[in-house]
Amino acid sequence: MVYLKVILGFIFICVGWVYLFHPNLIIALNALIRDALFNDRQILLARKKLAVAYFCIGLILLYAGITSMALYYSELNGTRDFIDRIDYSMYIATQDYYAGRYDAALQRYKNVLPYTKEKDQVLRCMVSAYTALGDKERAKALLEKLLIINPQDAVAKMKLNALKKQ
């Protein structure tokens, strides 16, 4: 179905192009299909209107085909562009964290947080970054937020108790 849209798009663009600049070719083609679709009076009187209509139909079909192909191939690979960008941002943030660039890592984690489903994982990473920066108050606040999301999180409870003792 996807390829059919692209092929029909190209056909209509070509027919519109030929009809605009070489109407005799289309009139000859019309002689073959005159009884089924058109009569000569409509074609001769509305040549430019039909050419524009062919162009428009062709562009719409071409656009529909190309976008369908893009969706088809992204689903075929099992990837979605937006999800890939979130995962990539998490990867870069983690790289920043391990390279000691805690501020850059925190900024990336903050950018990812509203869009991810795994908020607890991002919050844990942010807690680690704040702890590495020495900002224990923000780390405690995030741990409390994490415990609101997941009250059974034993690691978060342990970290929060350790931070409160310091």
- CB-neighbour burial class of residue 64 (10 A; exposed 0-12, middle 13-18, buried 19+): middle
Average pLDDT over residues 104-133: 89
Of residues 30 and 117, more confidence is placed in 117
Q: Domain 81-165 falls in which CATH fold? A: 1.25.40
Q: Of 106, 88, 87, which Cα lies nearest the Cα of 96?
A: 106
Each domain of the chain, given as residue ranges in start order, spans 2-76, 81-165
- The confidence score (pLDDT) of residue 71 equals 67
Query: Per-residue pLDDT for 32 more than 80?
Result: no
Instruction: Give the chain's mean pLDDT.
Output: 81
Query: Per-residue pLDDT for 149 more than 80?
Result: yes
pLDDT > 90 in the chain, percent: 14
- The confidence score (pLDDT) of residue 63 equals 85
C-alpha to C-alpha distance for 138 and 131, rounded to whole angstroms: 8
- The confidence score (pLDDT) of residue 107 equals 92
Q: Residue 135 carries which DSSP code?
A: -
Any residues with CB less than 8 A from the CB of 13 and at least 6 apart, and which? 54, 55, 58, 59, 62
